[in-house]
């Protein structure tokens, strides 16, 4: 069982992470506020390992003019025997295409791509608070025109 303060702290971490994505706040080392140095993630755009690989999240968000990520039903569980803490939550993610994307993809392109999904994470308590050590996103359903993904994500050129 997870304590109420821990559940609150983990739920807040998730909300702040989503808010950062939508506000496009990516200062240097932004991912350190949410993830461990050895984090690994599995998302619809690929797998990343290590805090320095989290640039792919920024790249994914910047493919859109605007986004809105909403989380709900956060469930947190700590296994007393192993001390392992996990969380899962539902997410609704709306992505508004750039005008240039709409123009390039043609008149049948829907301006909003929406994903309903589930996140799962393993968390660690660090001296700075809870951080996600593993995060996985599973898309359950989508509507609208999805992005055209590059064959392999490329790091930003700054």
Q: How far is CA 105 from CA 59, 63, 138, in A?
A: 19, 14, 25
Per-residue pLDDT of the chain (158 residues; tens, 9 = 90+): 567 889 999 999 999 999 999 999 899 899 999 999 999 999 888 899 999 888 888 888 999 999 999 999 999 999 888 889 999 999 999 999 999 999 998 988 999 999 999 999 999 999 999 999 999 999 999 999 988 765 554 555 55
Q: What backbone torsions phi and psi does residue 59 show, to the nearest 5 degrees? A: -60, -40
What pLDDT is recorded for position 33? 96
Q: Is 115 helix (H, G, I), strand (E, B) or coil?
A: strand
Using DSSP's 3-state secondary structure scheme, residue 68 falls into strand
List the structure tokens of 78: 């700590």
Q: What pTM, to 2 d.p., does this model score?
A: 0.88
**CA dist 150 → 37, 87, 112, 153 (Å):** 26, 30, 19, 6
Instruction: Report the 10 Å Cβ neighbour count for 35.
Output: 27
Two tokens, residue 44: 């619809």
Domains and CATH numbers, the chain: 4-143 (3.10.450.50)
């Amino acid at each position: 069982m997870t304590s109420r303060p821990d559940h609150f702290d983990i739920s807040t971490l998730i909300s702040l992470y989503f808010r950062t994505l939508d506000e496009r706040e990516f200062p240097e080392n932004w991912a350190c506020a949410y993830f461990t140095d050895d984090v690994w993630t599995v998302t619809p755009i690929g797998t990343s390992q290590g805090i320095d690989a989290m640039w792919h999240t920024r790249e994914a968000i910047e493919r859109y003019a605007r986004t809105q990520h909403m989380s709900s039903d956060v469930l947190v569980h700590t296994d007393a025997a192993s001390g392992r803490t996990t969380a899962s939550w539902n997410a609704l993610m709306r992505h508004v295409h750039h005008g240039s994307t709409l123009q390039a993809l043609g008149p049948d392109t829907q301006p909003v791509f929406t994903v309903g999904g589930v996140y799962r994470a393993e968390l660690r308590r660090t001296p700075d608070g809870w951080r996600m050590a593993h995060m996985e996103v599973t898309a359950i359903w989508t509507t609208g025109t999805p992005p055209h993904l590059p064959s392999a994500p490329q790091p930003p050129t700054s």
